Structures are given as structure tokens and as C-alpha cells.
Amino acid sequence: MQNAIKAEIKRLAKRAFEKEEKSKKLEAQYQQRFTKRTGLTAGPSSRKPKAPISKHFDPKYCSRNANFLAKTIWHKVLNNCYEPIPAVCYQIPKPDGSKREVMAFAIPDAALANVVLRRARDRNLKRLSPASFAYHPDKNVFDAILALREFDHRGKLFAVQIDFEKYFDNIPAGYLKGKVADSGQVSLTPHERHIFERFMHHQFAEHAQYGTGQFQRRHKGTPQGSSVSLLLANLANHDLDVDLTAAAGRFVRFADDVVALCSDYSQAQLIEKCFFDHCRISGLKVNSEKSPGIAVISGRAQEVRTLPHFDYLGYRFAPAGLTVPEKTIKRLKTRVSRLANIYLIQYLAAGFDQSRCSTSAPVYDWDLLGLIYELRRSLYGGLAEAEIEAFIHQGKRLPKMKGLMGFYCLLDDPAPLKQMDGWILSMVRRATRTRNDILSSKYGLNCPTPSNRQLATGEWLDPAAWRGDPKPEARMPSLVRGWRAARKHFYTFGLENVEAPKYGFYSDLDDLFDY
């Protein structure tokens, strides 16, 4: 065990080094782009690296002393006196405007948590519900989506969705401790139980107050940010899994997001009762504002509450098949608009390098080309247009499948993607006109203002403007074109080599864009 902790400390320290190097590289790229676009020398970075809050958060110290730290921490566990170093609490904004508390634990504590979680999870994998998809190493979000899509309801389809109020924050500690101690439900060693209980009552403070030594102690909920939170949260809903297995035609749980499907209203009522009974026993609360409850999923009005669809894990489930939810389209538009502003408009306030664009032969705009490449990287997961076309028309296998395109390989209805493609063309065209107006009034210059057709085909860029080979791909990426490739890949190879996004992706598209 000590050697495993030592190896994990070194791995986490290495990952911290790589993250720091990536941040420095990105900052250098931002400065280089600023200089290219404005013709001005970029000033020093406003992002000053923060000194580690203590030596146990310092990857250099932890890497050099991994053996000593592993030996010390395991000795404390063996003597039942282990106590995690107080964590740093960060307030992370959520899409609804509220904030989520995420804990950053010291590297040795994070290493211990990872090792213990893997061993405990692997030992209890067969004892946990197969309908819980977030914590199984051999399952991912695609398995959860397919499990719902393949439910054969043979008539009316009833969906029951109940949302728990701040699930990870509100799980009562007493209920959790009872689950951890119950050998009939979970197989844990005495040392593992000790470790889980100490994490349930760890100390923490926000970054600004950490140096004062005034720490709070956790008395409920799970420590989000630590891997032990995964198993603890899963145990908190284990009894619900057991009840739903007996009551539901099909149910899927991904962390705290649960959907149950059945073909009968009385069965749907029984499923709903399972949720409320579980809350009454466990101390959890139902979020009435975000809980749709029971509904018939149908395109026609029925005798009970009827919905044309339900949204789950980034997909919209409807009788006609899977499509894209409206909230995903809205977030996608926000992200694309932000990129267009960064590439085409934002830098103009500081200055502009006249060599960046030309409206006379040869016609070019390197900032517009950069935007197109950034969108392609995001939507296609790093694939080139030539690779997409070769796979669709010639069957040449793709080297990988990531990004937004890869995630929506299960999509049945591409109608929202077609509308989104048109919106992207129109939005970028309007952005180029705004860019041209600013350049004309402020610098007496003009930039290309291509039409939708020119953007879609790439004809706006004169290849003669590019020196050398290969020539750039000036064609605007297409969600529909990416979906065609992803769909063909799914039917040809299944989900092989399709990278599933990280947990939380459906509430934050950054995991899909920044693959």
C-alpha cells in the first residue's frame, strides 16, 4: 500500500507540473497572438503564478519527498490517527448562477484517496448497481444513453425524473457513516473505513482565509474534489438503486441524475414513491423546481401530463429519437460568439497590424482563418476537413473521435445541427462586417466580408495569399458534416476510439471544446 501511495504522489505531482507548463505555454501563445494582431508588443502577463499554500500542495516538495510522505501517511492510517491536511475551498460558478464548493486537497491526501478508492471500488464493483454509470471504470455516459434509448416500452412511455437538492452538499453524515459501516452493502477494510470517515469530516478554508489557520469542519455532504466523494455519493443512493431495480422497467443513474422509464402509470407512481421514500429515510431533499416528476413522453396530448421529450446527459430523448437539447444549443452559441469576438473584434481596440488582412488580390484575413481553425478544432475534435471528407465518401478510417462531434455520434435527428450551421455562418458574416466597420472608421482599412456561401465553401480566401503547402482549409466547419462522420463511425465501428467526455460535461461545454 505504501508503494502504491508513493507512486500516486509522484503521478499527481507530475500532472501538476504538466498543468503549470501548459498554462505558461498558453500565456505565451496569447501574447504572441496579441502582437501579431495588433502590431504592438504584449505586456507582461497579468497572471502571476501563486505560491503553494503549503509545502504539501507543492508538487516539487511532494515529488522529492514522495517516499517519506507515503510512509508517514500510511503510518498514521495504521494507527487510526490519520487526518487530512485542511483543504482549500473554491467557489465554482454553476450555469444557474449559484456556486458549487469544490475542495482542493493536499497532494499526499489526494494520492491516498485515489489509491483507496480504486481498491474499494474494484472490490465492490459487483455489489453496486449496474444501473449506476458514473463510477464504473468500464462504463461511461454513452452506456447510460444507450441504456435509455434501447428501452422497449411497447406502448406509452412514462418517464420519471426527480432532482435532489444540492445532492453532494446535503447528504447527512450520519447516513453516510452508516452506509460505510454496513458490511452487508459494501466490503471495506477497517483502515479504509477510517480513511472515508476522516474525509467525511475534513477541515477546510477558502484560499483567502487559509493562512489564518481558521478552518471549518465538514459535518454533512461529500468532499467534492476528492475521489472518495465518488464512492460515498454512490453508497448514499444504493438503497434507491435497489428499490428502482424492483419497480422500474428501466432506470439509469449518473451520479445524482436519475431517469426511470416504464410503460404503465401505476408503475410510474410506484417509482416516484421510491424517490420520496428514499429521501425520507436518507435525509436528502427533492428539488421541486427542477424535478419534472411523472410525464408521458409523446407528441400527442394524453390523459396525464404529457411532454414531447425529456433531456438527460446532454441529449434530448423524444419518440422520434435522440436530438440536441435547446440549452446545449444556447451554450454552443455563446461559446462560438465568444470565439468570434476574440478573433475578429476584441483586439481592434488596442491596435491592428495592417498585414493581417487584404481586400485586394490576393484576398485574405488571417484572423478569420484562425477563427475557422479554432471552430474546426472544437467541433471536429482536432480532425481536418480532408479527413472528414475522406471518411464519409471513401471510408478511410478516422484516427480519433473527440470533441462535440464525437459526443453526438448517437444523434438521430440532426435538425438542430442544420439550424446551428446556418446560425454560425450568419453570425460570423455579421462579425466580419462589424470588424470592417471598426477598421474603416478607426484605421481607414477594410477587411473581407464574405457571404454565407463563401464562408461555407471557403472561396473567400485566395489560395495565392498562402505561401507554401499544404494550402489552408478556409471552409467553415459544419456540425452536420461532423455528425455524418460521427454517425458513420458509430455504425461501422461502434463506440471504439470514441472518447467520452469527463463527468460534468453536459453542464459545461468546455470539456467538449477543450478536449
What lies within 8 Å, CB to CB, of 430 at 6+ separation is none
Annotated domain spans of the chain: 1-126+172-215, 324-512
Residue 298 has pLDDT above 60, yes or no: yes
The rounded distance, in Å, linking the Cα atoms of 485 and 108 is: 44
Q: What are phi and psi of 246, to 5 degrees?
A: -80, -30
Interval 303-318 mean pLDDT? 90
Interval 290-310 mean pLDDT? 87
CA distances from 144 to 239, 253, 312, 413 (A): 19, 8, 10, 19
Residue 515 has pLDDT above 50, yes or no: no
Interval 289-306 mean pLDDT? 86
CA distances from 383 to 36, 86, 403, 410, 421 (A): 25, 43, 10, 19, 18
Which one-letter DSSP state was computed for residue 309? -
pLDDT attached to residue 272: 93
The rounded distance, in Å, linking the Cα atoms of 111 and 16 is: 13
The rounded distance, in Å, linking the Cα atoms of 444 and 266 is: 72
Q: Grid coordinates representing 503?
A: 463527468
Question: Counting Cβ atoms within 10 Å, is residue 299 exposed (0-12), middle (13-18) or buried (19+)?
Answer: exposed
CB–CB of 250/243 below 8 Å? Answer: no
Interval 430-442 mean pLDDT? 96
CB–CB of 260/241 below 8 Å? Answer: no
Residue 61 half-sphere exposure toward CB, CA atoms < 13 A: 12
pLDDT attached to residue 35: 85
For residue 342, name the pLDDT band (cuts at 50, 70, 90): very high
What lies within 8 Å, CB to CB, of 233 at 6+ separation is 167, 168, 171, 222, 255, 256
pLDDT digits over 248-261, tens only? 788 998 888 889 99
Pairing of strands 87-93, 203-206: parallel
Three-state SS for 29-68 is: HHHHHHHHHHCCCCCCCCCCCCCCCCHHHCHHHHHHCHHH
pLDDT attached to residue 483: 93
The rounded distance, in Å, linking the Cα atoms of 438 and 414 is: 36
Interval 2-13 mean pLDDT? 95
pLDDT digits over 443-454, tens only? 999 999 999 999
pLDDT attached to residue 506: 43
Three-state SS for 263-291 is: CCHHHHHHHHHHHHHHHHHHCCCECHHHC
Among the listed residues 432, 465, 472, the one whose alpha carbon sits nearest the alpha carbon of residue 364: 465
pLDDT attached to residue 511: 47
Round the average pLDDT of the chain to a whole number and report it. 89
CB atoms < 10 A from the CB of 319, how many? 12
pLDDT attached to residue 494: 86
Report the chain's terminal Cα–Cα distance, integer Å: 33
pLDDT digits over 397-421, tens only? 888 787 788 889 999 999 999 999 9
CA distances from 322 to 211, 457, 497, 508 (A): 50, 29, 21, 20
The rounded distance, in Å, linking the Cα atoms of 476 and 63 is: 45
3-7, 180-184, 399-403: range with highest mean pLDDT: 3-7
Pairing of strands 321-323, 203-206: unpaired
Q: Grid coordinates representing 511?
A: 470539456
Interval 82-95 mean pLDDT? 88
pLDDT attached to residue 256: 83
Residue 309 has pLDDT above 60, yes or no: yes
The rounded distance, in Å, linking the Cα atoms of 233 and 228 is: 9
pLDDT attached to residue 415: 92
pLDDT attached to residue 513: 46
Interval 144-166 mean pLDDT? 87
Interval 268-279 mean pLDDT? 93
pLDDT attached to residue 319: 87
Long-range residue pairs from 203-209, CB within 8 A, at least 24 positions apart, any chain: 203/84, 203/86, 203/87, 204/86, 204/87, 204/88, 204/89, 204/103, 205/86, 205/88, 205/89, 206/88, 206/89, 206/90, 206/91, 207/53, 207/88, 207/89, 207/90
Its pTM stands at 0.85
Q: Grid coordinates representing 49?
A: 503564478
pLDDT attached to residue 48: 63
Q: Which amino acid is at 12?
A: L
CB atoms < 10 A from the CB of 436, how many? 19
Among the listed residues 132, 159, 312, the one whose alpha carbon sits nearest the alpha carbon of residue 236: 132
Q: Grid coordinates representing 236?
A: 448514499
CB atoms < 10 A from the CB of 39, how many? 14
Strands (E), 119-276: 158-162, 203-206, 216-217, 250-254, 257-262
For residue 378, name the pLDDT band (cuts at 50, 70, 90): confident
| 37-51, 146-160, 224-238, range with the lowest pLDDT | 37-51
For residue 505, name the pLDDT band (cuts at 50, 70, 90): very low
What lies within 8 Å, CB to CB, of 300 at 6+ separation is 306
Interval 284-293 mean pLDDT? 85
Interval 116-137 mean pLDDT? 86
pLDDT digits over 42-80, tens only? 777 666 666 678 899 999 999 999 999 999 999 999 999
Residue 320 has pLDDT above 50, yes or no: yes
